[in-house]
A and B are shown apart, each in its own frame.
Chain A
């Protein structure tokens, strides 16, 4: 069975510091995509970053980077220079090409940025 694990229910970070949110995944499918979404208190799901299983380089999008370690099946999100507006829930997700484009989500990490 496909699975996404986020082991940090809550995290705190000082403003302007970097923070790493952990995500591990489990699949036997060789072709998959890994995603991070942000959900602020307003409730919408905001796409942050994508990493394909065949991508050689780690994905980056502005202050977000994805630390992809394929052998360890981890896809950690690194947020640099944290801002107060980064306080939100963060979800790691995986999609599988060979199973009808299903997306699987982790249970999320609540990030609080402290001024």
Chain B
């Protein structure tokens, strides 16, 4: 039972570098999400995709882009990383809002 798989688990970037966080789910869920978690801030929604082919901004979208490649995959791209993007990133998926969201293991990103 893979559930939601995120890669990589850890990453260190230099300021200005770019990278893509990958996320895939095998539960046939329609909705997928990217969150960032910072101390004292809880989880904040960056982008979400309610269904294949659609993406929408969440609370903190600046500095990020996303791609819903297909129903399974939802990637998050940092075009020019900044130290303020140092965080733990979680991908999640759900079938509908009355059912819980399933989370990946998280990616710990440090931008130096």
**Which positions in A face B, CB cutoff 8 Å?**
4, 6, 9, 32-33, 35, 43-45, 47, 50, 52, 91, 93, 95-97, 100-108
Most B C-beta atoms less than 10 A away, residue of A9, A93, A101, A106: A101
Q: Are A91 and B96 in contact (CB under 8 A)?
A: no
Q: How far is the CA of A9 from the CA of B97 in the complex (A)?
A: 27
Q: Does B48 contact A (CB under 8 A)?
A: yes
Residues of A within 8 A of B102 (CB): 47
Give the one of A45, A47, A105, A108 with max B CB within 10 A.
A45
Q: Determine whether the beta carbon of A101 is less than 8 Å from that of B96.
A: yes
- Interface flag for B50 (CB, 8 Å): yes
Complex A-B: 8 CB contacts under 8 Å: A32-B97, A43-B105, A43-B106, A44-B106, A45-B92, A50-B100, A100-B50, A101-B31
Q: Are B92 and A52 in contact (CB under 8 A)?
A: no
B69 at the interface (CB under 8 A from A): no
Q: Using CB atoms, name the residue of chain A closest to B45.
A: A102
Contact A43 B100, CB 8 Å, known A100-B50, A101-B94, A107-B40: no
Query: Which among B40, B99, B101 has the highest number of chain A CB atoms within 10 Å?
Result: B101
CB of B88 closer than 8 Å to a CB of A: yes
Contact B101 A52 (CB under 8 A): no
Contacts of A52 in B (CB 8 A): 98
B31, B99, B100, B106: which contacts A100 (Cβ < 8 A)?
A: B31
Interface of chain B residues 50 through 98 with chain A (CB within 8 A): 50, 54, 56, 58, 88, 90, 92, 94, 96-98
CB-CB contacts of B34-58 with A at 8 A, as 1s and 0s? 0100001111110010100010101
Give the chain A neighbours of B45 by CB distance below 8 A. Answer: 102-104
CA A104 to CA B48, docked complex, whole Å? 12
Instruction: Give min CB distance, A27 to chain B, whole Å.
Output: 12
